[in-house]
Structure formats: structure tokens, C-alpha cells
Amino acid sequence: MSAFNLSKNPIYDHCFSQDRKTVAITKENDVLLFDVSGAKPYLITTLTHHDKPVTAVDISSDGKIVTCSQDRNALVWDLSGDGRTYKPTLVLLRINRAATCARWAPNGRKFAVGSSDRVVAICYYEAENDWWISKHLKKPLRSTILSVDWHPNNVLLACGSADGHVRVFSTYIKSVDSKPEPSVWGERLPFQTLCADYIGNSGGSWIHDVRFSPGAEFLAFVSHDGNVNIVYPSPPVGSEPGVPAAYFEVRTRHLPFKSLAFVNDNKLVAGGFDAHPVVFEGSEQGWQLTKSIDDPTEAKKHVQEEQSAIDLFKSMDLKGKSGSKFSESLPTIHQNTITKVKLYSPNSISTSGNDGKLVVFKV
């Protein structure tokens, strides 16, 4: 486990470079790039062209950085010729409300930006004008888009929104994409084809995050009811999305999860308002919560065992309650909500939080 105190402000999103030597984090209106290859992280540069809080950052497979913000803009940053500074390129999002999330397609040729404008902008580069233009996914979106995730074929996109729906769209653009192979999500996939539309059993809870499984045969999402949902699809019927072949809702007593990441096809990790990650495991036969990482219950037990009787009586006399060195802080590494969970390596995850910390956990 490695923990870095990178900011005194909340970190809404983070992303590591492919070689894991650099990490980008959000900080208010800016994005900070740190070198984390040494004993201590040091600041490389600050990306400063947004004038409202940055809501998301992502790094493509070839090193380009995309940022989006409540200022309704997105920027793509390329490393300049000197190898030290980043040059921003304009993105024509054509939205009237805040951009909420952004994610590169696996091949780095396009990216998706969700927004409060009830659209998803699919952005791709137009060399003639040296800018990034966009096409919109609109119907049947009815609310703010809170999360997006790409299928490995670079065409299918999963979207989670505040109306409680998870939808899978085709984003096929003839000038950019290769024709995708048929899959369980569909065969003919023109732009904006609705391949799937799911809603949690609680109905209407905000979908905070959605992810395709590593094998891309199913997806999982976390909602504001504190539950984790896993959906195995069936092929679309004509122009209508198919019903789930299998659906599992893992009910928990945890506060809502904000983010999740798959470790493999049989294991995922979620984190959120409880400030520590939780592991879920399963298959097409069923899923269940198996353990907590950085478990606060175990930490409290450890403190209580170490506390001497005299300390206990002193605290009860002075404060009217049993004392604990964690009385003013949480018994977990994160001291506030986990905002983002991402896969770091085959056996570890990285998390960022409202406490300004970035932590790498073994799973």
C-alpha cells in the first residue's frame, strides 16, 4: 500500500500514465501532473486553462490528456516539442451546461464527455482545422450523465445517468472507426444505436459509475442506494435493446459507492462515502461482497486492544466517553469520501478522495 498527500483540496478524478510513472489529479480549476516514480512525488507541471472546477481527467494510450470542467469546456493536451510543456487544443463540445465526466477510447482516437446538458459528446480530431469536433448522443437521455466507460472495440459506450438508467450506445463513426465485430451487444451498430438500457431494482437512484468487465461480456454499476449491480446482457431484438440474461443486485449496508473498477472478470472493487474500498466477487451464477480493504472495524478493534485501562478511565472522567486516538479522525487511510477507483495493476487499485489523498491498495 502506498499513500500520497497530493492536495489540500478534494481530488475529483485521477489518472496514471501507461508506465505508472506520472499521475494527473484535479485540483479546483487546474490539473496537476506529478512524477511518482521516485521515493517522493514531485510536481511536473500545472494545466491551467479552465475557469471553473475540473470534473474529470484521463490519459490516452499514447499520452494525450483530456480534461473537462464545469465551465462547459474540454481540452486535449499534447506534450510539446521541448518535452516539458503541454499544449492545449480546443474541443468543440457544443453543450450549454457543465461537463461532468470524460474518458478516452482504448485506441486514443476519440473520447466521450458526459454533461449536465443531457447529452454525451463523442469527440474526434479534425486535422484540417486542428481541433476536436463532436457528435452528440441524445435520445433517450433525460438527465445528467455521471459516468461513461468504453468497450474494448472502441465503438460501444456505457453511460450512467442521474435518471437511474445505464445505457449502452454505439458511437460508430465511419471516418474514425473500424467496423466492429458482432457481439452479445449487437451486430449492426450505426451511430447512436441503443444496444442496452437497464435500471436498478431500486429505480431512479443516481448511477455514480459504470464499467464494462475486462472481457466486455457484461457490465457493473454502482448507484446512490449503496448497492452494486451486475448485468449480463442478451442480444438486442430488432431495434429494441435486449433484456438482461442475468441480473444481480448485491445489497449492502454501506453508504453509497461513488466509483468501481474491475480487477478481473470475477472480482471488482468499489469505494465511496464510507472512505474505504470494498471487494465483490462472483460469476454468472451470482455475486457477493467478500471483504473490505482498510477495514475500519478491524482498525477500531486494534485500537481498543492497545488502549490501557487507565487511559480508558481517564478519558471517561474527562470527556464522559471512552477515548480513542481516532476520535477526531476516521480509522481508515482515506479521511473522506473516495471519489474515484481505478485499476493500477493486475493485483492493485488506486483511489483518490475528497481528503486530497491518492492511495494504491493491494487487492
pLDDT tens per residue, range 116-174: 999 999 999 998 888 999 999 998 999 999 999 999 999 999 999 999 999 999 999 99
Q: Which tops the pLDDT comparison, 274 or 325? A: 274
Average pLDDT of span 206-218: 96
Q: Give pLDDT, residue 239.
A: 64
Query: Is residue 312's pLDDT more than 80?
Result: no
Q: How far is CA 156 from CA 58, 119, 120, 185, in A?
A: 18, 16, 13, 8
**pLDDT tens digits, one per residue of 6-47:** 999 999 999 999 999 999 999 999 999 999 998 899 999 999
Considering the chain, what is the average pLDDT of its residues?
Answer: 90
- Stretch 229-257: mean pLDDT, rounded? 87
CA-CA distance, 13 to 303, in Å (whole number)? 32
Q: pLDDT value at position 322?
A: 52
Whether pTM exceeds 0.85: yes
Q: Is 92 exposed, middle or buried (CB count within 10 Å of its CB: 0-12, 13-18, 19+)?
A: middle
The pLDDT-based confidence of 309 (bands split at 50, 70, 90) is low
Which residue has 492536495 as its cell numbers? 7
Average pLDDT over residues 217-224: 95
Domains of the chain: 2-315+328-362 (2.130.10.10)
- With 80 as the cut, is the pLDDT of residue 240 above it? no
Query: Whats the size of the chain, residue-wise?
Result: 363
More confident residue, 238 or 27: 27
pLDDT surpassing 60 at residue 324: no
pLDDT value of position 205: 86
Beta carbons within 8 Å of 322's beta carbon, 6+ residues apart: 307, 312, 315, 316
Least confident of 152-156, 183-187, 206-210, 240-244: 240-244
CA separation (Å) from 260 to 238, 244, 319, 359? Answer: 32, 21, 39, 15
The answer on pLDDT for 326 being more than 60 is: no
| pLDDT over 90 at 109, yes or no | yes
pLDDT band at 303 (very low <50, low <70, confident <90, very high): very low
Residue 327 has pLDDT above 80, yes or no: no
* Alpha carbon 279 to its chain's center: 16
Check residue 84 and give its pLDDT: 75
Q: Is the pLDDT of residue 305 over 50?
A: no
Nearest-angstrom CA–CA distance, 121 and 134: 6
